[in-house]
Structure 1
Amino acid sequence: MGVFTYTDEYTSSVPPARLFKALIVDSHNLIPKLMPLAVKSIDIIEGDGGAGSIRQINFGEGSQVKSMKNRIDELDLENFSYKYSLIEGDGLMNKLGKITYDVKFEPTRDGGSKSKMSSTYYTKGDIVLTEDEIKEGKEKALGMYKIVEAYLLQNPDAYV
C-alpha cells in the first residue's frame, strides 16, 4: 500500500465561520440546492452529523461517480476544522482503500479566510495515482468551493 499526501490552500473574502457553516456543517442541504445536476443528494445515513457519522453523496445522472460514503472523523465547530474520510464508492476508483481529508478555515487580516486542505490517498497494493487523477479531484473540490463562495457573496445574510 502506498500513501501520498497533497496540500492546498485557498483564500476567500468570506469569513471562515460562514464558509465553514455552508461548506461543512450544512453542506448536506446547501450543495444539492446549488449544484442539483451534479449532486442529487447528501444523506446522513448513520449518526447525527457529528464525528462518527456516515454521509452518502449521490451524484446526478450521467456522472462517472454514482455515490460515495464519507465518515466524519472530527468536527470542531469552534476552530472551524473538519476531518473526514472517503471510505466507500466510485470515487475510490478501485485503486484506493480510502482518502482522508483535513480541512481548516482560518481568518485573514482583511476579514476573509484562508482554507487549508490536506488530502492523504491510501492506494491498494502497488498502484500509483497519476497527476491527472489527483488534479481532477482537486478541480472538482475547488469548483464546489467557488460555487458556495459565490453564493455566500451574493447572499450576505446567509450563514451568518
Structure 2
Amino acid sequence: MGVFTDESAFSSAIAPARLFKAFFLDADNLIPKVAPQAIQSVEILEGDGGVGTIKKITFGQGSQFSYVKHKVENIDNENMSYSYSLIEGDALTDKIEKITYETQLVESPDGGSIINSISKYHTIGDYQINQDEVKAGKEKAAGLFNLIESYLQANPDAYN
C-alpha cells in the first residue's frame, strides 16, 4: 500500500466561522438543497454526526458515481478543522483503499477565509495515483464549494 498526498489552499470571501458551519457542520442538509444534481442525499448510518459517524452520500443523477460512505475522523470547532475518510463506494475503485481529507479554515487579512486542505490517497498494492484524476476531483469539489459560497453570499443571514 502507498499513500499519495496532495495539498492545496484557496480563498473565499466568506468568514471562516460562517463557512465552517455551512460547509462542514450542516453540509448534510445544505449541499442536497443547493446542489441536488451533485448530492441527492446524505444518510447517517452509524453515530450521532460527531467523530466516528459513518454517512452514506448518494450522488445526483448526473454523477458518474452512485454513492460513497465516509467516516468523520475529527471535528475541531475551535480551530475550524474537519477531517473525514471515504471508506467505501464506487468512487474508490478497486485501486484505492480509502481517501482521507483534512481541511482547516483560517481568517484571511480581508476578513474572508483561507481554506487549507490535505488529501491522502491510500492505494492498494503498488498502484500510482493519476494526477489528472486528482485534478478532476478537485475541480468537482471546487464547483460544489462555489455553489455553497454563492448561496451564502445570496443569503447573508444564513449560518451566522
Does the TM-score normalized on the shorter chain lie above 0.5? Answer: yes
For residue 115 of structure 1, what is the aligned residue in structure 2? 115
For residue 106 of structure 1, what is the aligned residue in structure 2? 106
- Percent identity over paired residues: 51
Q: Report matched runs for 1:18-29 at 5 Å.
A: 18-29=18-29
| Helix, strand or coil at the partner of 1:32 | helix
Query: Whole-Å Cα distance in 2 between the matches of residues 22 and 53 of structure 1?
Result: 18
Query: Whole-Å Cα distance in 2 between the matches of residues 80 and 97 of structure 1?
Result: 27
State TM-score, norm by structure 2.
0.97
Residue correspondences, number: 160
For residue 143 of structure 1, what is the aligned residue in structure 2? 143
State TM-score, norm by structure 1.
0.97
In structure 1, list runs of 5 or more residues that go unmatched: none
Per-residue Cα deviation, 1:65-112 (whole angstroms, up to 9, x for no partner): 100011001001121100110100011022100001110000112111
- Corresponding position: 1:96 with 2:96: yes
Q: Is the 8 A contact 2:2 2:123 kept in 1?
A: yes
| Helix, strand or coil at the partner of 1:157 | coil
For residue 4 of structure 2, what is the aligned residue in structure 1? 4
| Helix, strand or coil at the partner of 2:65 | coil
For residue 59 of structure 2, what is the aligned residue in structure 1? 59
Per-residue Cα deviation, 1:16-50 (whole angstroms, up to 9, x for no partner): 01111111000000000011122110111111111
In structure 2, list runs of 5 or more residues that go unmatched: none
For residue 78 of structure 1, what is the aligned residue in structure 2? 78
Name the stretch that deviates more: 132-141 or 112-121.
132-141
Question: How large is the RMSD of aligned CA atoms in angstroms?
Answer: 0.9
- How far did residue 63 of structure 1 move? 2.1
